[in-house]
């Protein structure tokens, strides 16, 4: 009698991801998982790994859809562009959603990055003011620690907020004021973001 090999942790992890997904694109995720399992049992490990990666990417897209709903509507006087969802490699993986806003020749981009491994290192800055560089300043916005930095030209800037040790809200702007950055930061529901799975 042939003994079945135990499933590796990667397969079990991907199955857990499948269980956590919602109904949107569920068939695609299930199909990818089924193909990964078939390939694994047939010893086709490259195919199995590729299907697991594909299923994980679909799950990240589902999560991105949830995060997308938390991107703010335009502040009065501003116009919002289409929302975008993407996997992010800049922070070592994870999910990123963003939306751009314009007012005349001014531009602001709001980005929410979630569950990227490198975020942990970045978040250390929020608890250690000595790590801040340049003219970056700590500020509290809606109960959240924020780092606000305005460039020497006085019209470009960036605002970052760590949420629940899992998310980074990054607001960047060109030809804007500090008040513009803060106005957009105040429109985000941080409590809801912290609860997002």
- Label residue 22 by pLDDT band (50, 70, 90): very low
Give the CB-side neighbour count of residue 123, counting CA atoms within 13 A. 18
Residue pair 176/154 in contact (Cβ under 8 Å)? The answer is: no
**Domain 72-194 belongs to what topology?**
Phosphorylase Kinase; domain 1 (3.30.200)
pLDDT over 70, % of the chain: 76
- Label residue 81 by pLDDT band (50, 70, 90): very high
Instruction: Give how far Cα 2 sits from Cα of 5, 15, 21, 48, 51, Å.
Output: 9, 24, 34, 21, 26
Question: Which residue ranges make up each domain of the chain?
Answer: 9-67, 72-194
Q: How many CB atoms lie within 10 A of CB 197?
A: 8
- Label residue 8 by pLDDT band (50, 70, 90): low
Kindly report the pTM of this predicted structure: 0.70
């Amino acid at each position: 009698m042939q003994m079945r090999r135990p499933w590796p942790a990667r397969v079990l992890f991907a199955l857990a991801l499948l269980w956590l997904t919602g109904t949107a694109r569920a068939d695609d995720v299930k199909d990818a998982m089924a193909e990964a399992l078939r390939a694994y049992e047939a010893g086709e490990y490259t195919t199995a790994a590729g299907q697991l990666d594909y299923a994980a990417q679909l799950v990240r897209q589902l999560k991105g859809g949830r995060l997308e709903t938390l991107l703010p509507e335009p502040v009065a006087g501003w116009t919002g562009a289409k929302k975008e969802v993407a996997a992010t490699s800049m922070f070592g993986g994870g999910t990123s959603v963003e939306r751009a806003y314009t007012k005349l020749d001014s531009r602001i981009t709001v980005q929410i990055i979630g569950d990227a491994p490198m975020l942990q290192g970045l978040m250390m800055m929020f608890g250690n003011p000595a790590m801040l560089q340049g003219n970056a300043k700590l500020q509290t916005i809606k109960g959240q620690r924020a780092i606000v930095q305005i460039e020497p030209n006085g019209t470009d800037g960036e605002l970052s907020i760590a949420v629940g040790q899992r998310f980074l809200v990054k607001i960047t702007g060109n030809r804007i004021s500090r008040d513009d950055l803060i106005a957009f930061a105040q429109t985000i529901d941080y409590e809801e973001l912290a609860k997002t799975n």
